Amino acid sequence: MRFAIGDTDFLLDGEPHRVLSGAIHYFRVHPDLWQDRIRKAKLMGLNTIETYVAWNAHAPQPGTFSFEGGLDLGRFLDLVAEEGMHAIVRPGPYICAEWSNGGLPYWLFADGTVGVRRNEPGFLAAVRDYLEQLAPVLVPRQVDQGGPIVLVQVENEYGAYGSDASYLRALEQMHRDIGLTVPFTSVDQPMGTMLEDGSLPSLHKTGSFGSRSTERLERLRQAQPTGPLMCSEFWDGWFDSWGEHHHTTPASASASDLDDLLAAGGSVNIYMFHGGTNFGFTNGANDKGVYRPIATSYDYDAPLDEAGRPTTKFHAFREVIARYAPVPALPASMQPGGSGVLSASSASAASSASAASSASAASVAGLEARPAPAADVAVRLDRVASLRSLLPALTQWSAHDEPPTFDALGAASGFVLYRTEVDLPDGGVLTVGTEVRDRAVVSVDGVVVGVLEREHHDRAIALPPVTGTLELLVEDQGRVDYGPRIGEPKGLIGVVAVDGVPLARWSASPLALGPIAPAAVDQLAALPSTDGDVLAGPVLAAGSFDLTSTEDRYLSLDGFRKGVAWVNGFCLGRYWSRGPQRTLAVPGPVLRAGRNEVVVFELHASASRTVCMLLEPDLGHTEA
């Protein structure tokens, strides 16, 4: 099978072909749920799945590269193929995606000599190694080799960052050198000179926008007089940042813009079809003068919500798509007001009613029904240990003359604890010379005296009289994913001083929380149950609960302020009482019938020791 770019259309084996794609990031969805999400994209009328590739997820440390479990890109693409769908792959190397560091590994910039997104030997050498690791996964899965991949994107919205054509040419050649033969694309906003600055004549230009489709396509046609029109990021919603409002886009408005796009003959990739979740410490951040970390939920107000259920937007988009292409019949559970869960019988009926192939119909028929819901479950966190008591199990201290960055310590994300001894009989003012990246809980002799927040540009705090231990627990709240601050180090940046006198003889250690160090888990498990309600942080608390079935759930932490939560050792991500999100998604495959375990790391305090495993998310988003 051949896929090509014609004068006016994409061509599939020489015939005009419209790409109807939806974005699903495999790294934001539990792998046991990939098939469900892909199948539902097909039921909305899509024929293609698009995904970024997150370089830093596959290569968290220098010299490592993984395609295991939730990073099995090959398996994800094979599931796309099993549904009879095509794939668009966007390996970057920079992806933005509201993902930590825009997908670029932190270690790449640790020594300060490697360039960022430019024609610099160190950066290009690392990109070459990265693409060579991807080659065995991508090359044999191209459409001309019997696989699903029809398009590969080179870089990502580069016109909003730079205009170095030599850099783009080098990237393009590297993609060809590993054996990729399908057409290559670029993407930029149809504004100013971004389309021209971010592409090459040999890359097919596509646009990124979410409204005013006709006008945007006209600008795209101006930049590229021939070839198919495509919006490869049709923004149907938006992401949320902590402390801001929950973003939504009216389904009717998005559907109208999609209709305009398709009526003009355009192809589309809906960003996002299903957003998923920033599990663990993977969320990115923006800093355009004020630092804004991205929330854990990446629901994006998409057609398929964070739980994988069809929304009003799903049905509105499906109705629009049906005007331009055949769509499969929906099973009863997927109809408006249904549960969104595909049963074996309803999925089979949907397939037989559609024009899908017999192989695809068999695949849909194989989806089993989920068990009937049980009641919400309250979980008492009855085993509690202060962070200080668990430090021997969570730390590996190293000595430094001045506070090292996270990057120098080999910490991609999470928390680093800085400690030094001070003699301040009259107290003093602690200052951080350049910037706190991103949030520091300051303690003296184990007593919290305040917080320094990058978001508020805090760099100074008054200390009480102390002769003893000064500690700063610093949290990386998300590496910047967009703009000139990509690749910057984390931690305490600049000289740390009291009343202008630099502090020396520091000890520092990342906290082993991703995952939690087994020794700390064992200590928590061995603790006796205790009474009381209030938790005073920094503290880790654990509790157990029993389930008879393992459907998706949502962890509610009402009364807790800020921290991280795990279920059965799986890191759900960060919570923060400032909102907008109020519950953390718990994928069903993480749960087990029988005994389950919750662990919460609370940085400050909570008025309760009870959390709740809900069957439905709390959608009453906290407003900033």
Taking the C-alpha atoms of residue 72 and residue 29, their distance in angstroms, rounded to an integer, is 12
φ/ψ (deg, to 5) at 458? -70, 135
Q: What is the 3-state secondary structure (H, E, C) of 526-594?
A: HCCCCCCCCEECCEEEEEEEEECCCCCEEEECCCECEEEEEECCEEEEEEECCCCCCEEEECHHHCCCE
Residue in the structure block whose two tokens are 């007089």: 225
Structure tokens at 438: 């991103």
Q: Is 233 an active-site residue?
A: yes
Least Cα distance to 474 among 442, 429, 519 occurs for: 442
Angle, CA of 221, 222 and 226, to the nearest 5°:
50
Q: Using an 8 Å Cβ cutoff, are 77 and 148 in contact?
A: yes
Q: Using an 8 Å Cβ cutoff, are 204 and 227 in contact?
A: yes
- Using only C-alpha atoms, the chain has a radius of gyration, in whole angstroms, of 25
Residue 508: which H helix or E strand, with range?
strand 506-510
Active-site residue, selected from the candidate residues 172, 233, 597, 602: 233
Q: Is 50 an active-site residue?
A: no
* Residue partners of 614: CB distance under 8 A and separation at least 6: 376, 553, 554, 555, 556, 583
* Residue partners of 295: CB distance under 8 A and separation at least 6: 239, 240, 241, 242, 278, 283, 580, 581
Taking the C-alpha atoms of residue 588 and residue 601, their distance in angstroms, rounded to an integer, is 22
Structure tokens at 341: 């869960």
Least Cα distance to 216 among 164, 251, 165, 268 occurs for: 268
Number of residues assigned to the chain: 624
Would you give the DSSP letter of residue 157? S
Residue 370 CA from chain centroid, whole number: 26
* Residue partners of 354: CB distance under 8 A and separation at least 6: 326, 327, 328, 329, 361
Taking the C-alpha atoms of residue 338 and residue 448, their distance in angstroms, rounded to an integer, is 49
* Residue partners of 362: CB distance under 8 A and separation at least 6: none
Least Cα distance to 109 among 406, 407, 403 occurs for: 407
Taking the C-alpha atoms of residue 265 and residue 252, their distance in angstroms, rounded to an integer, is 20
Number of other CB atoms surrounding residue 513 within 10 Å: 20
Active-site residue, selected from the candidate residues 157, 471, 597, 602: 157
Helix, strand or coil for residue 276? coil
Q: How far apart are the first and last CA of the chain?
A: 51
Which residues belong to the active site? 157, 233
